[in-house]
Amino acid sequence: MQRSIILGCLSIAALFVCTGADAADKPKLIVQITVDQLRGDLPTRYYDRLGKGGFRYLWESGIVYRNAHHAHANTETIVGHATLATGAHPSAHGMIGNLWFDRETGFTTYNVEDPNYSLLTKGASVDANTEIDPTQRAARSEGRSPAAILVTTFSDELRSNTGGKAKVIGVSVKDRGAISMAGHTGTAYWFSKASGEFVTSSYYLDKYPDWVNTFNNTKPAQQFAGTSWELLHEQNSYLFGASDDREWESDIGGFGRTFPHSFGDGSSKYFTTWLTLSPPGDELVLDFAKRALVEEQLGQDAVTDYLSVSFSSTDYVGHVFGPSSLEAEDNILRLDRTLADLLAFVDQQVGLDNTLIVLSADHGGPDTPGYLNSLNIPAGYVDPDSWDKAAAIARIKEAFRIDGDLIAAYDHPYVYFSDAVKNKRKIDQQSLEAAVVEELSKFHGVSLAVSSSALRRGNLPDTDIYRAVVNNFNPKRSGEVFIVFEPNWFINDMEGLTVASTHGSPWSYDTYVPIVFAGAGLTARTVYRSVQTVDVAATLSAYMGIKPPSGSAGTPLVEVVAE
């Protein structure tokens, strides 16, 4: 009896000690950094020229996963962000593409659009000037919210676990880069190209906090008027120093293909667009994130807070100039400085020992066909808009007695059939899909075509590519036929805008991303075993000792949680 009382006391003491140690070990802040289109090799490609405190700090003091991939086939921005945020595959979180055709409304839908929640800044519709982000043109309202994300994020679970006491903020140039990470319960801020300010929607707030108004009143974009994007170092010190002007690079509104890239006097309608497709886009996000950290007092009490910072310039630079360009090289060196600035600020305000940092990317990206062809690597562009007119599709129309269009739209990576076809009762949809799949599979540049009915039936070949397509399949949102292009073949036309390269495939250059956990007293380590981006949210949840997000398909990374 006495013995059991002693044991009981011991176990109570042990529990007390354990709980106390846990609370003391918890970081004050989690900073989740997502760099749009940061392919896994890019942070170390110019390692000898990186400064201190940015990539070098993360790579030399963190746990670095050098064999991390997205496990879904459509490697686009919202798809990757939502996967990192939720630890779920797109089949579960529902963000199957930047755009999809909504069968309930009958309209093409932009992932985070929501007519129920308008922007707090009047006239700041992000649609107003979207030359470089044409996916947003499809949005039919300026309202934005995370409503279409079907599962919880890690940040939601953190809020829920703490009774709403954990503060959660997401910041990005892109609405989808901020909204996805802030989840359903946090607050997201993004950059409006129309107003040159950071905005949010009525989903999150009724009015801006004073600090946001103060920040926006400084007209943050205008600091770049009259300046240019110039090289950080002597041009001949760059790997691509001798090849600035490449014919396949895009010239967006007169921004040019060579340095210096002038931002003009600030009056051009392209001004804010140019800022986002160059390092200033990231610098604006950095400045706003730093203000948010201070003003919202993140990491200042016993409850762990969460700040997501998503940097988009690398993505736009990759699209416009290609990842192997002088512009992309200079952008990485400048991003390194931006990261160093952010981490130094976090260190000063909260302490890096008290902060768990995680960095990854929403997707990688291909090199441009021009660059690859110059090295004799096969690559090229595909034009799905021409498919409906092809002789093979005409034969299918004849066989199924279809007048007019069969293929209504190609919203990457899906072929959607026209309404006329879908509503025609006499057509056996399954046979039609099978016929289209058979013909499209033979098309130049197409590696694989899979019909939705085949995906619903299952029993597909057990290969990485098929698994990636299945992970991307949501029956309510996916199109009739899923297309995988040949490696290094992709579309260069984004609704009228010609770009040099486009990601969005299940091939390794698009799925390969870095995953790095650092700070919070973690011990440096490089890990080469295969891990997936769904593991990030699972790891954060396990690290915090809270339940994983509702659709989580990841496994906690043992090197991080077993420290």
Given the rule CB under 5 A, which of 27-35, 88-96, 307-315, 323-331 is the region that contacts Zn ion? 307-315
> Least Å distance between CB 83 and Zn ion?
15
DSSP assignment string, 464-508: HHHHHHHHT--TTT--SEEEEEPTTEE--EETTEE-S----SSSH
Binders of Zn ion in range 31-70 (CB under 5 A): none
Question: Which residues does 496 contact at the CB level (< 8 Å), separation at least 6?
Answer: 134
User: Which tokens belong to 390?
Assistant: 């092809």
Cβ–Cβ < 8 Å for 352, 519: yes
**Closer Cβ to Zn ion, 283 or 315, answer by number:** 315
**Closer Cβ to Zn ion, 197 or 315, answer by number:** 315
The region, left, alpha or beta by phi > 0 then psi within -120 to 50, assigned to residue 459 is left
> Least Å distance between CB 504 and Zn ion?
8
> Least Å distance between CB 498 and Zn ion?
15
**Closer Cβ to Zn ion, 315 or 439, answer by number:** 315
Bridge pairing between strands 99-102 and 63-69? unpaired
> Least Å distance between CB 35 and Zn ion?
12
Q: Does residue 362 touch Zn ion according to CB under 5 A?
A: no
**Closer Cβ to Zn ion, 53 or 80, answer by number:** 80
Cβ–Cβ < 8 Å for 69, 512: yes
- Judged on CB neighbours under 10 Å (0-12, 13-18, 19+), 48 is exposed
> Least Å distance between CB 68 and Zn ion?
19
The residues facing 33 across adjacent strands are: 309, 359
- Judged on CB neighbours under 10 Å (0-12, 13-18, 19+), 126 is buried
**56 C-beta neighbours (distance < 10 Å), count:** 17
> Least Å distance between CB 518 and Zn ion?
25
- The values of phi and psi at residue 480, to 5°, are -70, -35
**Closer Cβ to Zn ion, 186 or 366, answer by number:** 366
> Least Å distance between CB 77 and Zn ion?
6
Build a one-symbol-per-residue string for 502-531: x at contacts with Zn ion by CB under 5 A, - elsewhere: ------------------------------
**Closer Cβ to Zn ion, 185 or 502, answer by number:** 502
Q: Does residue 315 touch Zn ion according to CB under 5 A?
A: yes
**Closer Cβ to Zn ion, 315 or 559, answer by number:** 315
Binders of Zn ion in range 235-274 (CB under 5 A): none
**Closer Cβ to Zn ion, 139 or 293, answer by number:** 139
Residue nearest to Zn ion (CB): 315
Given the rule CB under 5 A, which of 313-321, 403-411, 436-444, 467-475 is the region that contacts Zn ion? 313-321
Cβ–Cβ < 8 Å for 463, 484: no
DSSP class of 461: -
> Least Å distance between CB 315 and Zn ion?
4
> Least Å distance between CB 121 and Zn ion?
25
Q: Rounded to an integer, what distance in angstroms lies between the CA atom of residue 442 and that of residue 189?
A: 45
Given the rule CB under 5 A, which of 132-140, 232-240, 315-323, 542-550 is the region that contacts Zn ion? 315-323
Q: Rounded to an integer, what distance in angstroms lies between the CA atom of residue 206 and that of residue 200?
A: 10
Given the rule CB under 5 A, which of 44-52, 149-157, 285-293, 308-316 is the region that contacts Zn ion? 308-316
Cβ–Cβ < 8 Å for 447, 440: no
User: Which tokens belong to 551?
Assistant: 């659709």
> Least Å distance between CB 384 and Zn ion?
18
Q: Rounded to an integer, what distance in angstroms lies between the CA atom of residue 437 and that of residue 299?
A: 53
Given the rule CB under 5 A, which of 285-293, 311-319, 366-374, 449-457 is the region that contacts Zn ion? 311-319
User: Which tokens belong to 372?
Assistant: 């690859």
Q: For Zn ion, how many residues bind (rule: CB under 5 A)?
A: 1
**Closer Cβ to Zn ion, 74 or 541, answer by number:** 74
Binding residues for Zn ion, per CB under 5 A?
Answer: 315
